Structure formats: C-alpha cells, structure tokens
Amino acid sequence: MAKVEPGFLATAIGSMPHTSPEPACQAVLKFLPHLPAWPQLPKRSFHEGMYVQFGEGLPGVVEEGERIYIDTNRDVDQPLRQLQDDYEAMAVDSYAISRERAAGFHAFLASRMGTPWAVKGHITGPISCGLSITDQERKPIIYHDIFSDALAKHLRLKAAWQEKKLASLGYPTIVFVDEPYMSVFGSAHFALGREQTTGLLETVLGGIQGVKGIHCCGNTDWSVLLSTSTQIISFDTYNYAHTLPLYPDEVKAFLARGGAIAWGIVPNDEESLARETLSSLRDRLEEAMVPFTRKGIPLRQLLSQGLVTPSCGLAPLSPEASLRALELLSQLSQAMRKKL
C-alpha cells in the first residue's frame, strides 16, 4: 500500500456533543484545520446514533420508537437482490446518508475550508453494527449469515457514497471504519472466528478508494486488524496504551508497508480531561511510544506515520469541554510536529 505520512496532524474520531451542526463544524474547522472530520451529533437525535445513522435502507430494517431491528420474517428477497446488484455495480447514489441522520455531515460539506491536507469521514463497522442491530427476537444480526453479509455490503456502499461526497470538496480523503465492539473479539461473548471477522471488515474496507482506517477504542486482538487492508490503526492510547505494544512484530510490519497509527491520547471523559494539561498529555504520549522505540521502531517514523486524536468520540463531554479537548489536541499536534 502507499505510505501514509500525516506527520502527526490532529483529527477527530467523529462525535461531538452539540445539538446544532454549525457550531460543531466551526469547532472542528477551527482546531483541526489540516485534517477536519465531519461531526456526528448523537445528542441531536436518535437517528444520529452510530448504529442507526447508517441503517437507513438496510433490507428488512424496522424502526420503532428508539429501537432499530431487522424483521427476518419479512419478504426481503427483492431488496437483497437489489443490494447485490448495487454492490456488484458499486451503484452508490442510492445509499446517501440523509440530512436527518447526519446534519453534521451535510453542514460540513457546505462549510468553508482552508487548504486541509485531507478531510476525514467515518462509518460504523460491520462487527459493531452487526452486534448492535438485532432481529425481532433480539439476536444480533451478525449471527444471521444472509443479513450479516447484506449489512457489510450495505455499509460498503454507504462508505463509498460518503467518500464520493467528501472527495467532491477537492481534497484527499480518509475514511475510518469505527469498530468499538472489536473489543469482544475472541471472548465468550463473540462467536465469529478470525476469517469471518476479517471477511466482513474487508467487504467494507474494499469500498473505500482513498486512505482507509479502523478505529477501536478498547482492548482487542490487534493482530486481526493489522492483518487487514487498513492503512491506519486508531486506538485509545489514553486508556489502553499497553495493548498495541503486545504485537510488536505486526506493528513493525504494518509501518514498514506504509501504515500509520492514530494515537488517541486526549481523554473523552470530563473528570480525566480536567486533570490533564498539554505537558501531562505529551508525557503520557511519549511514554506510550517507548515500547515501540525499544523494539527498534524509530521515533521519527512513529511521528511521520502518525496522527493524534481524542481517545474516542467527544459526545460524552459538554460542548465547552469538547472545545478544550480539541484545543489540547491541536496544541499537542503542534508540539510533537516540532520534533519532526
């Protein structure tokens, strides 16, 4: 794969705590001018939740109140055939993400930008979606072969449509596949094996033509994600710094073939954020890098093939705290870039 060298620019994972898209976009563009990410606004509406946002048009989908599920008793033969045809033709225009479900995305597209290095999008991945969206009996659809396959193809088309719209802004694109539930991989709570898991992920990743990333904000078997076609691995460095160094050979090989690491070092909970300063976060980040430099990965490579982000989405914060998080993130990026 082509080498990804963001030079430790700052970007966001996705969600913001705002209920109005304009101030969320303004904050992102102010603090992350080089690599802005469109803001998801889950507090604005149930439809902007990360599992509902991309479910629009999924064969068999039902929304009742604040529940989304698949009714497997419905006749979905025709919708499934149409999805397969669209998947084979990469006919993405029928897979738009509506303004109702992504007000921040549409406001972002209409925003005035400077000259960013790239613009970032994100979509919930097939593992997390497949575990969160259930059938009518509350069985996760990831355990229905037909519907898990349909979900992955549906998300591939949604990701491709999103990337097409972002690319229309005239800048390079990065799209992350967000997989918080990869933290259950290998546990008794998850029944899929490695091959099935990577197969679903690759279906979605294959629809992204620009730079592609995977974000997981928990402990997981990183060897699985490092073995995919992703070009960026994004992890919660603040809470799980000890997890990625458990796979030194895989990380070294990933960087050698041009991959990048997104270091999620700015916390997304108010109590932790209130304790931190630029200096304390820089110390914590540099400490997190030590296991890699001890394994022979040069610091310069970690920085040049690196990004810095919050630990996860910022929706859990107040709007005021989210601005402080972004400001610290911006300052930390600048401080680390000086090392380059």
Q: What is the mean pLDDT of the chain?
A: 96
3-state secondary structure of 112: coil
Residue 340 has a pLDDT of: 81
- Of residues 42, 45, 34, 30, the one with CA closest to residue 11: 34
Residue at 58: amino acid letter: L
- Dist. CA 262–CA 6, nearest whole Å: 10
The answer to whether 334 touches 291, Cβ cutoff 8 Å, is no
Q: Read off the CATH number of the domain in which 92 is found.
A: 3.20.20.210
Residue 2 has a pLDDT of: 80
Average pLDDT over residues 182-186: 91
Kindly state whether residue 2 falls inside one of the protein's structural domains. no
Counting residues of the chain whose pLDDT is more than 90, the rounded percentage is 96
The domain total for the chain is 1
| 36, two tokens | 């802005």
- Of residues 43, 190, 28, 185, the one with CA closest to residue 111: 28
Q: Where are the alpha helices (DSSP H) in 115-144?
A: 126-132
Residue 189 has a pLDDT of: 82
Residues 6+ apart with CB under 8 A from 340: 7, 8, 300, 303, 304
Could you please report the per-residue DSSP string of 180-231?
A: GGGGGTTSTT----HHHHHHHHHHHHTT--SEEEEEE-S---HHHHHTSS-S
Kindly state whether residue 52 falls inside one of the protein's structural domains. yes
Residues 6+ apart with CB under 8 A from 211: 4, 118, 172, 173, 174, 175, 231, 232
In the structure, what pLDDT confidence band is assigned to residue 117 with cuts at 50, 70 and 90? Answer: very high
Residue 187 has a pLDDT of: 86
The answer to whether 233 touches 292, Cβ cutoff 8 Å, is no
Residue 82 has a pLDDT of: 98
Kindly state whether residue 245 falls inside one of the protein's structural domains. yes
215-270 pLDDT tens trace: 999 999 999 999 999 999 999 999 999 999 999 999 999 999 999 999 999 999 99
Kindly state whether residue 76 falls inside one of the protein's structural domains. yes
pTM of the model: 0.96
Residue at 73: amino acid letter: N
Average pLDDT over residues 113-119: 95
Kindly state whether residue 191 falls inside one of the protein's structural domains. yes
Containing structural domain, residue 80: 9-338
Burial of 77 (0-12, 13-18, 19+ CB in 10 A): exposed
81-106 pLDDT tens trace: 999 999 999 999 999 999 999 999 99
Q: What is Dmax (Cα atoms) for the chain?
A: 59
Q: Does the pLDDT of residue 188 top 90, yes or no?
A: no
Helix (H) or strand (E) holding 145: helix 145-167
Kindly state whether residue 139 falls inside one of the protein's structural domains. yes
Residue 1 has a pLDDT of: 75
Q: Which residue has the tokens 């919050």?
A: 310
Residue 259 has a pLDDT of: 98
Kindly state whether residue 310 falls inside one of the protein's structural domains. yes
294-336 pLDDT tens trace: 999 999 999 999 999 999 999 999 999 999 999 999 999 999 9
Instruction: Measure the CA dihedral 307/276/330/1, to 10°.
Output: 0
Residue 186 has a pLDDT of: 83
Q: Does the pLDDT of residue 281 top 90, yes or no?
A: yes
Kindly state whether residue 233 falls inside one of the protein's structural domains. yes
